[in-house]
Amino acid sequence: MQPYSLTVDKFLDHAAKWHPRSQVVTATGAGESSRTDYLALRAQAKRVSVALAERGTGLGDIVATLAWNTHEHLESWYGIMGLGAICHTLNPRLLPTQLAAMLGRSGARILILSADLQSLASEVLARGTAIEEVLLIDEGLSAGRIADDALKVGTLVDATREAAGEVEWGRFDEDAPCGLCFTSGTTGAPKGVTYTHRGNYLHTLRQLQADVAGLTGEDAILTMVPMFHANAWGLPFSVPAVGGKLVLPGRHADGATLARLIVEEQVTLGVGVPTVWLGLMDHLDQTGEDLPSLRRIMVGGAAMSPSLMERIERRGIRVQTTWGMTEISPLGTAMPPAAGARPPSASGRPAIGIDLMLADASGTALDQQRGAEGHLWVRGPSVVERYLGQAEPVTRDGWFDTGDLARIDESGILTITGRAKDLIKSGGEWINPAEIEAIIGAHPDVSQAAVIGREHAKWGERPVLLVELRDGAEIGDEALLDTLEGKVANWWRPDSVLRLANMPLAATGKIDKLRLRSEYGR
């Protein structure tokens, strides 16, 4: 057979050749969207490659992006990766010190930046990084221009207009790295994961299967998961790979913008962490609007709340649960879209190319792999081998410890039962917050629930429940805790309930347990 390198630039080549007029739409704000198609997007991505090459970027060099989900960001991704350089995506919701530390680790010299993030970038760059040039994605916003005489600042539009010549894509080995992303850091310090072309290519094929995302060229996919969160779960590769319509929210995540995009673009599938869809459901409840085109919402990244799932499915929109993490590119398992009745906590099966194993706390495989709870280990060609800057692999005998606790039923369906790092040790025994959260979260009055350990003189730690109720809900603390009766041991019952007007969310939209612990854990 032919030596045909599995490099990600081939997805956009394919889209431009076979689906040239399929659209990529970006919400630009104030009820407006900009649109391009795969043919134009590829041409512009090629110009980005030329502009970067003119600036000395080549194979293995790192180019950083600090940007929202826009077509310009996508053009930058392909422009960087097609060249053989590595796209380091940065999360604008992190602190300047964290971002400066990440840039320090990657050593990127060029930063591609959404124009409205200039003041954040100024604070990051003031801390000292290797960045020499900033290329602005100009969305018509000029707030807080970067003021640093040592830096070259221009726009991507100008840089690509001036770009002359041609650059050939994919002239390198498929094992070459193409992306760098740090974990969200919901429970620990963010760690850098380097993706390869081959890993992402195989991940894309896995994601496209009917029992996984099941994308087609007829779908319009609203990608709410940010491009800085685990490769937007691979959608920037898999949607062009089938020539589907890609709908991007820009920097907007409010319910009204989502509803508008879904109606205007006839979106069939929405993808994002569970909390993103709360705002959409609230908006629909308030306005009485309907979303007839939307058939399915794919969620992952955190446990799905039963009450939110019920709210979405009542509207005839199917909720598809998945499990994944940054370290595994990120898709691990998915509930088949056509599966019958299933609980919101079940996350489906792995598709070919990723394997699961349950182990005890020391990493020894459990004798019983079905029905028992264990520590979840994974392996496959899209699973991390070593974190950025580490010489030693993080794997053991080829397996990676996810840090999650899970159970797999007789039919192979995975349920995440908790996170090893989240467990609460009370009187020497373990309490699993995820189990309590799932029960409390099923109550119709509850919008979001989190359980953390609070220091306790006698027991070491005791659980505390933090809840955000739905608007107008009046349930009392005792009634809320009584829902646990008979479902968990008595000593698991949280000692107190704290009501929050707004549950704090971490940078990727998940409940921020680190913050909850620092504010309420003492």
Catalytically active residues are 183, 327, 425, 430
Question: Which one-letter DSSP state was computed for residue 76?
Answer: H
In whole angstroms, the minimum distance from the beta carbon of 308 to ligand ADP comes to 13
d(CA 13, CA 6): 13
Least distance to ligand ADP from the beta carbon of 404, Å? 5
Helix (H) or strand (E) holding 113: strand 110-114
The token pair at 32 is 């407006």
Check: CB of residue 502 under 8 Å from CB of residue 468: yes
Among the candidate windows 7-15, 29-37, 141-149, 177-185, which touches ligand ADP by CB under 6 A? 177-185
- Tokens 């040592």 sit on residue: 150
Binding pattern for the stretch 439-468 against ligand ADP, x by CB under 6 A and - elsewhere: ------------------------------
For ligand ADP, which stretch binds (CB under 6 A), given 31-39, 166-174, 297-305, 358-366? 297-305
Segment (H or E) for 334 = strand 331-334
DSSP state of 109: S
- The pairing of strands 414-419 and 400-408 is antiparallel
Is residue 407 a contact point for ligand ADP (CB under 6 A)?
A: no
CB 382 within 8 A of CB 355: no
CB of 507: closest distance to ligand ADP in angstroms?
Answer: 9
Q: Which is nearer to ligand ADP, 170 or 418 (CB)?
A: 418
Q: Measured from the CB of residue 384, what is the shortest distance to ligand ADP in angstroms?
A: 10
Dmax (CA) of the chain: 72
Q: Which of 224, 325, 335, 354 binds ligand ADP (CB under 6 A)?
A: 325
Phi then psi for residue 206, to 5 deg, are -65, -45
**Contact call for residue 346 and ligand ADP (CB under 6 A):** no
508 binds ligand ADP (CB under 6 A): yes
Provide the edge-to-edge strand list for the sheet that holds 110-114: 152-155, 133-137, 110-114, 62-66, 86-90, 177-182, 192-196
In this chain, which stretch among 12-20, 251-259, 296-304, 392-400 interacts with ligand ADP, using CB under 6 A?
Answer: 296-304
Q: Is residue 417 involved in binding ligand ADP (CB under 6 A)?
A: no
By CB under 6 A, the residues from 305 to 324 that bind ligand ADP are 321, 323-324
Closest CA to 302 of 269, 342, 272, 343: 272
Give the residue with the Cβ less far from ligand ADP, 48 or 346.
346
CA distances (Å), origin 147, targets 98, 99, 109, 131, 150: 21, 18, 17, 14, 9
- Pick from 82, 177, 226, 301 the residue near ligand ADP by CB under 6 A: 301
Selected from 41, 303, 466, 480, the binder of ligand ADP by CB under 6 A is 303
Query: Shortest gap between Cβ of 346 and ligand ADP (angstroms)?
Result: 9
Q: Name which of residues 229 to 258 contact ligand ADP (CB under 6 A).
A: 230
Q: Is 302 in the site for ligand ADP (CB under 6 A)?
A: yes
C-beta of 184 vs 257, nearer to ligand ADP: 184
Please name the residues in contact with 482: beta carbons below 8 A apart, sequence gap of 6 or more. none
Min. distance of Cβ 185 from ligand ADP in angstroms?
A: 5
Binding mask 178-207 for ligand ADP (x = CB under 6 A): -----xxxx---------------------
Give whole-number Cα distances, 90 to 24, 377, 499, in Å.
Answer: 22, 27, 32
Residue with tokens 């392996």: 379
Residue 231 and residue 227: Cα distance in Å, rounded? 5
Where does this chain bind ligand ADP (CB under 6 A)?
183-186, 230, 300-303, 321, 323-326, 330, 347, 402-404, 416, 419, 508, 510
